[in-house]
Amino acid sequence: MTHPILITCPREIPQILAREVEALGLTVSNILPAAVETSGTLEDCMRLNLWLRTAHRVLLRLGAWSVTTADEMYEAVKGLAWHEWIPADGYLSVVSSIDTPEIDNTMYANMRCKDAIVDQIRERKGIRPSSGPDTSQSVVFLYWHDDSLMVYVDTSGQPLSDRGYRMHPAKAPMRESLAAAVILSMRWSAGFPFVNPMCGSGTLGIEAAMIAANIAPGSIRQNMGLFHLLPFEPKGWQTMRSEARQARRDERTEIRCSDIDPRVVRQARENARAAGVSIDVATSDFRDVQRVDSAASSDGVGPVIIFNPEYGLRLGDEHTLRGVYRDIGDLFKQRFGGYTGYVFTGNMALAKEIGLRSSRRMTFWSADLECRLLEFELYAGTRKAYGQTTSTRTTDEHPTSSAQESS
């Protein structure tokens, strides 16, 4: 049976997510500020959870109504066939987004929704599931804004950005879904070198390696919300995972990461092993990083070098960081001609210290912090020649990347 599906993601990423969804054969019906809408079956949700890189949750809608009171909400939710979705001897958690004059206590709305579900199941099965805050089993999402009420089963459970490989997160790590979106916005694809100094926990390099090898990010997850729904078919999931393994690419892609902290380097290596990817992680000051020889760029993609330096807002001293950003610009100019350079930062004042004109500026959000992915076309030759070339470029172009096809 086909249902509306809401797929959530970070702000500024829905266009990238929409391309992922369409690559999986589904039609995107609407693009929202932090989500996309499509429709499909529970089997489609299985595929989405397995393959989507930039999504957070895949929500399957079971009902939508216009209600104005908590009692109306209770009756609407109770009218659904929950005994066909939630095991009577299982465990249920209700989470919500509430913005309606009727409710000034979200916990009360969640409780009434939970009561409606378990009351319906008890009337049909004679017993009811346990309930509480644990979201590792069956999860129901209640959306109630003004008089618009929608109820979903959360087929992801824990956010899809929690891949399960990051055994050792570094300080202020980039979320996996954000890292994937950044990479899918770059002029890079499998087969070209990917260089990431200041790699921290290795998230950018690991996500790049997974994209290059066409590894389904959900294939390493040990648990999802859909596993705890009654219509879920384990054999179907195992078949999808087997097909995903067969779709992996063996083409060698040079992924080189580095960090000056030996402890962080060890942790990044352990994270890569947990993800099942092979990347080169070295202990090195970013100023000593060397280029990797590569075939010439083609079709707008080629080798890249990307930095995610401290911003001086939550981490790092802004005065000291000015020199760091200047040294990044010097490294770009002196050693990485022929590459495309990227800097992901939440501090545009520091970004000016790079000393190069960006060819594109793409907006992303890291939690509640607005950030930019700055792209620099790095030409061989003098600083003057570089400046003359980049001055003809426009900014804020639509991101393109053949790596998107890997999903």
What confidence tens digit (pLDDT) does each residue in 166-209 have? 887 666 679 999 999 999 999 999 999 999 999 999 999 999 99
Q: What tokens appear for 31 in the block?
A: 């693009």
SS3 label, residue 374: strand
Q: How far is CA 313 from the centre of its chain?
A: 23
In the chain, % helix, strand, coil (3-state, to 5) comes to 35, 20, 40
Q: Tell me the pLDDT tens digit for each residue of 45-102.
A: 999 999 999 999 999 999 999 999 999 999 999 999 999 999 999 999 999 999 999 8
Give the Cα separation of 362 and 12 in Å (integer).
Answer: 9
DSSP 252: -
- Indicate the domain borders of the chain: 3-154, 176-215+234-406
Residue 301 has pLDDT above 70, yes or no: yes
Burial class (CB in 10 A: 0-12, 13-18, 19+), 260: middle
- For 35-74, letters b (16+ CB in 10 Å) and e give bbbbebebebbbbbbbbbbbbbbbbbbbeebebeebeebb
Q: Tell me the pLDDT tens digit for each residue of 335-373.
A: 999 999 999 999 999 999 999 999 999 999 998 899 999
The fold of the 176-215+234-406 domain, in CATH, is Rossmann fold (3.40.50)
Residue 395 has pLDDT above 90, yes or no: no
Question: What are the strands, taking DSSP E only, across 41-88?
Answer: 57-66
Judge if 3-154 and 176-215+234-406 fold alike in CATH terms.
no
Q: Tell me the pLDDT tens digit for each residue of 112-146.
A: 999 999 999 999 999 999 999 999 999 999 999 99
Higher pLDDT, 151 or 391: 151
223 and 157 Cβ atoms separated by less than 8 Å:
yes
Higher pLDDT, 316 or 348: 348
SS3 label, residue 211: helix
Task: Identify the architecture of domain 3-154 in CATH.
Answer: 2-Layer Sandwich (3.30)
Give the Cα separation of 38 and 303 in Å (integer).
Answer: 34
Scan for tokens 């908590």, then name that residue. Answer: 70
- The candidate with the shortest Cα–Cα distance to 406, out of 229, 210, 174, is 210
Give the Cα separation of 64 and 45 in Å (integer).
Answer: 19
Angle formed by the axes of helices 176-184 and 203-212, to 10°? 60
Angle formed by the axes of helices 14-23 and 176-184, to 10°? 80
189 and 401 Cβ atoms separated by less than 8 Å:
yes
Report the pLDDT averaged over residues 285-298: 88
Q: What's the chain's average pLDDT? A: 91
**CA atoms within 13 A of residue 182's CA, in its CB half-sphere:** 32
Scan for tokens 């066909």, then name that residue. Answer: 84
Report the pLDDT averaged over residues 230-254: 94
